[in-house]
Amino acid sequence: MIGDAEPIREAEETDEEPLELRPGREDLGERLDRFVASRMDDVSRSYVQELIETGRILVDGQTRKSKFRMTPGEVVTVELPPLAPDEIQPDAIPLDVVFEDDDVIVVDKPAGMVVHPAPGHARGTLANALVAHVPDISVGGDNRPGIVHRLDKDTSGLIVAAKSDRGRRSLVNQWADRSVDKTYLALVAGEVADNEATIDAPIGRDPKNRQRMAVIRSGRPAVTHFEVVERFEDATLLRLMIETGRTHQIRVHLAFIGHPILGDTVYGISPATVPYLERQFLHASELAFALPNGDDVRFSTPLPEDLARVLAALRAGPASEE
C-alpha cells in the first residue's frame, strides 16, 4: 500500500498540464513574479521571471511583464518546460540511511527536502544526494535515479529507492500490485469521532485550481484507512494506511472529511494556529516491502523532533505555550 507518495509514472501523466493560479483579494497589487513564486514550491523567483520573459506565464491569456500587478479574478497560467534529460549532478548532502544493500536503500527523509529535481530546482534534492551516495545509481535510464515513489517536500519519513536494475524492477512490481505497506502519522484538526474508519473517495485535479487535488466524481479511485492514536482538545493524532497512491491523497481525504492536517497551508490550517508547529504534521513512519531476494522487511522511524515537540506541547496543555 502506498500513501502520500505516488508512483512516478502516475505523476508524469499530469505534470505537462499548465498550472492555473487565481489571485485572491490578499494578492491585490502583488507583482506577477512574486505572486507566481509564492504559489509554486521549489521554484525560484528568477526562474519565474525567465518563464515570464519566454511567454510561458500568461495572465488571462496575455503576456505580461514581471512587474505586472495582480487583480483578483484574473487567471494566471504557468507552462513548465519538460526537464532536460541531463545527468543529475551529485550533491554531498548527508542522508539518514535506515537500510542499504546492493539493490535498495531506505532513507529517513527530513522535512524540507525535495525528492527529485524540477524546473528551476535542479540541485539539493534527494535524487542529487543519492547520486553522490551511490554514483552508479542511475538505473532505468530516466531522470529520477532509482526513485519509484515520492514524498511531499514538507512530509518527513521513510522512502525507498533502487540501487540496481534488479531492485528497481522489484520495487516497481510491488508498487504496481499494491503489496507495499506504508503507514503515516498525521495530526488533524478537530476531534475525530470514529476510532477507525475508511475514506473511499475519488481524487483528481481540482477544476477550480489546477495546482491542487480534490475529491471529484471523475477522479481516480482512492482509499485511505485510519485509526485514532491519541485525542487532544480540538486535535486528533491518526495512524493512516493507504490502498492507493494519488497525489496528496492523505491531505485531500482528511480535508474532505472535515479534519485537515494541521499545518497544511494548501488543504488545511496555518501552522501558526498550533504551538511550535512550523509545517504540515505528516510523517511516513513505517515502510514494509520485499527485497529482490524475497525477504520481507519492515522499517519504522519515530516522529522527528519538531513534530514530537508539538505533541509534547499539546499533552502539557495551554501552559506549554508560555
List residues with catalytic annotation: 152
**CA of 63: how far to CAs of 6, 51, 78, 79, 242, in Å?**
34, 11, 11, 12, 42
3-state DSSP percent of the chain in helix, strand and coil, to 5: 20, 30, 50
From 20, 39, 19, select the one nearest 31 (Cα to Cα). 39
**Per-position DSSP letters for 14-25, written without gaps between them:** TTTSPEEE---G
Q: Indicate the Cα dihedral angle 82, 84, 87, 93, nearest 10°.
A: -50
> Contact at 8 Å (CB) between 284 and 184?
yes
DSSP class of residue 91 equals -
Q: Which three cell numbers stand for residue 227?
A: 485509526
**Per-position DSSP letters for 154-223, written without gaps between them:** T-EEEEEEESSHHHHHHHHHHHHTT--EEEEEEEEES---SSEEEEE--EEEETTEEEEEEE-TTSB--E
β-sheet bridge partners, residue 199:
224
> Contact at 8 Å (CB) between 78 and 21?
yes
Q: Please state, as a whole number, how many other Cβ atoms lie within 10 Å of the Cβ of residue 39.
A: 19
